[in-house]
Structure 1
Amino acid sequence: MRILLAGASGTIGTALTRQLDKNHDVRRLVRRSPRNSAEIRWNPSIGELDVAAVEWADAVINLSGAGIAGGLWTRSYKETLYSSRIMPTRTLVQAMRQAQNPPAVFVSQSASGYYGDRGDEVLTEASASGQTLLADICRRWEAEALRAPDAVRVVLARTGIVMAKGGGALPNLLTPMRFFAGTSLGPGNQWWPWISLDDEVRALEFLLTTPLVGPVNLSAPAPATLDAIMLQLSRAFHRPVWFRVPAFVLTAVIGQLGHELLLVSARMEPRALISAGFTFDQPTPESLAQWVRRIVTRK
């Protein structure tokens, strides 16, 4: 399959590129001068993309977006969170609409933030959106993707909290634990819609060929609270979790970012993935912890 990938330089994009290169012909969109034939230059901030790039592709995967935790949520950075998602998606869709032969499938990243802060409510792909800033970003992000031509199968990959050695939440959880200062955050009973990086990458590749359409939750089938995840990590690394950072401290120090990134509760279930036959390699917090231990201690 010929795959055009936007957002290839991030944690997920790097791992996905490595996986897709095994079996597919992958070209990556870059904003600098291309270094080889596998790179294509674009400028999504002004809607610039050669239509030939999407004409070439059988599938387009869009992972573009500034890091949610990439800076304090000033007014300027909030605008960046919106524009870095909406403009690349809009640019890709515009190119598809201009193409004589658009790609068969468009997998466009979204996030568990779509659901907002929902306590213990079980969240499926049919659940309504929430009231947080991230929920608004996700709604607008998805709306852009859904403007793709009718001939294109659009998949909205609502990704949860990706557990990865090289980025995201996991290093911040493990670092204090290594120094016998393991810490949980806020009440600890907030549901984290976690997924291992390996399963995230496998799920994205799975979505290229399975006939799912619309929103698909990308999270492990055994949702867990933060305290439950920390417990399993502490057991795997034989380190205690001594401390708890109160919610008011997190919001006082990093404001709205602290609340929406660390304290919201989203009990998300991947019903569409499971019904389509996808199997998880790390389906439970216990298997996650053992996987984390392997990748962290691997030489």
Structure 2
Amino acid sequence: MKTVLITGASGFVGQTLAQEYLNAGWQVNGLGTSQNNPMADANDNFFWTSADTSLPGDWQDLVAQSDVIVNLAGRNIFKRWTKEYKQAIYNSRIQTTRNLVDAMPDNFGGQLLNASAVGAYGDRGETPLFETQPYGTGFLAQVCRDWEAQAQKAESKGATVAIMRFGVVLGPGGALAVMSRAFRMFAGGPLGSGNQWFPWIHLDDLVRGVFFLMEHNAQGIYNFTGSVPIRQKEFAKELGRVLHRPAFMPAPAFFIKLFMGQLGASFLCSQKALPAALETAGFRFKYNTVASALTQIFRS
């Protein structure tokens, strides 16, 4: 039986991915800060370790036992960015990845599938963002740059490294649960002008993409974003449609920045990220449009 180590396994993406590995007959070693995980009681092949992975510890012994490592660890960015919380966002990603690589034996022959984000590109307006585009500027871009650099050091330990730059993950939970609240209260609408490009991916396609990279022993950088990009105001319109709510209450840019600070400013960034590397490798999306993704999520 093969073994996968998933950091951040109690999170929105991590839980779904862990279940898919269990369904495929793998042993899953889950890592996170929660004291317990109900999947450990429900599945004989799921083992939970509670740890702060930004710090070295006994949890690192799990690394050498792994055929595949999926690194999803990172503090939630959908909170107000105080100076202290920004440091926590940074450390939870960079330090965890550094500790994973440090724990790899010199002849580690497994795979590291490392999360990142399209925030790596910064605010890029109308520019189509393929994986070959340079890093942008800003806090999230710097986090992603350093995060990816730590992951790529695993190649010196013999690992195959794939970087997955996630767009906003759409599924029954996560960011979509937060965004839909305003619409349910008849207060939904675009953020700022709404003309900014909104990078997205359905949770099912994200999980399928992880397995695709694993099965192909892929390496390099991959945008995990839907194949048909959409502007934020069109996304708001589609969300209002599936919730049977209006989408005409825009949140002015100055209001977002005033009350949400740098986090709010990041919501106004435009990132027309395209999944060129995944599609060139042969991956085919199940949900090509936001309309099909949102319809499936809310009708389910």
Asked whether the two chains share a fold, i.e. TM above 0.5, the reply is yes
Question: How many Å apart are 1:233 and its aligned residue?
Answer: 2.2
Distance 1:179 1:124, change over 3 A: same
1:154-173 to 2 correspondences below 5 Å: 154-168=161-175, 170-173=176-179
Q: CA 1:33/1:285 → structure 2, altered by over 3 Å: closer, same or farther?
A: closer
Render the CA deviation track for 1:39-84: whole Å, top value 9, x for unaligned. Answer: 2454433322455422221111100000011x32111111111101
Q: Within 5 A, what are the aligned runs for 1:171-210?
A: 171-210=177-216
Are the structure 2 counterparts of residues 2 and 129 from structure 1 closer, same or farther at C-alpha, using a change threshold of 3 Å?
same
- What CA deviation, in whole Å up to 9, does each residue of 1:204-241 have, x standing for no partner? 22221223212110010001111111222222333221
Distance 1:31 1:237, change over 3 A: closer
Secondary structure of the structure 2 residue equivalent to 1:244: coil
Q: For residue 139 of structure 1, what is the aligned residue in structure 2?
A: 145
**What secondary structure sits across from 1:182 in the alignment?**
coil
Partner of 2:71: 62
- Indicate conservation of the 8 Å contact 1:49/1:91, yes or no: no
Instruction: Name 1:291's counterpart in structure 2.
Output: 296
Larger CA deviation: 183-192 vs 100-109: 100-109
Percent identity reads: 36
TM-aligned CA distance change 1:257 to 1:164, over 3 Å: same
Matches of 1:34 and 1:244 in 2, distance apart? 40
- 8 A Cα contact 1:153 1:213, kept in partner: yes
- Confirm or deny: 8 A CA contact 1:182 1:243 kept in the other structure: yes
1:120-141 C-alpha deviation (Å, 9 max, x unpaired): 1000110011011100000001
Contact persistence 2:113–2:162 (CA under 8 A): yes
Q: Which residue in the other structure is 1:2 paired with?
A: 3
What SS does the aligned partner of 1:106 have?
Answer: strand
Q: 1:224 aligns with which of 224, 227, 230?
A: 230
Measured at CA, do residues 31 and 292 of structure 1 come closer, stay the same or move farther in structure 2, by a change above 3 Å? closer
Match runs of 1:14-25 below 5 Å: 14-23=15-24, 24-25=26-27
How many pairs are equivalent?
Answer: 290
Distance 1:209 1:65, change over 3 A: same
Specify the alignment match of 2:133 in structure 1: 127
The alignment partner of 2:124 has SS state of coil
Structure 1 partner of 2:57: 48
Structure 1 stretches of at least 4 aligned residues deviating more than 6 Å after TM superposition: 32-35
TM-superposition CA deviations, 1:95-124 (whole Å, max 9, x none): 11xx25424210011111000000010001
Q: CA, structure 1 residues 32+245, in 2 after alignment: closer, same or farther (shift >3 Å)?
A: closer
> Unaligned 5+ residue runs, structure 1?
none
**Deviations along 1:149-197, whole A, 9 cap, x unmatched?**
43211011101111122221x1233222223332211110111110111
The answer to whether the 8 A contact 1:57-1:103 is kept is no
Higher mean alpha-carbon deviation, 269-278 vs 230-239, is at: 230-239
Moved more, 185-194 or 231-240: 231-240
User: Of the candidates 271, 278, 286, which is equivalent to residue 281 of structure 1?
Assistant: 286
Contact 1:55/1:103 (<8 A) preserved:
no
* Whole-angstrom CA distance in 2 between matches of 1:173 and 1:13: 20
- Pair 1:33–1:166, CA change in 2 (3 A): closer
Distance 1:284-1:48 versus aligned 2 partners, 3 A rule = same
- Opposite residue 74 of structure 1, the aligned amino acid is T
The TM-score, its normalising length taken from structure 1, stands at 0.91
Distance 1:239 1:43, change over 3 A: closer
Q: Which runs of 5+ in 2 are unaligned?
A: 41-45
- Matching of residues 230-249 of structure 1 within 5 Å: 230-249=236-255
SS in 2 for 1:26: strand
Identify the residue that residue 95 of structure 1 maps to in structure 2: 103
CA distance in 2, matches of 1:78, 1:43: 17
Q: TM-score, normalised by structure 2?
A: 0.91
2:188, 2:247 within 8 Å by CA — same for their partners in 1? yes
Let me know the Cα RMSD of the aligned residues.
1.9
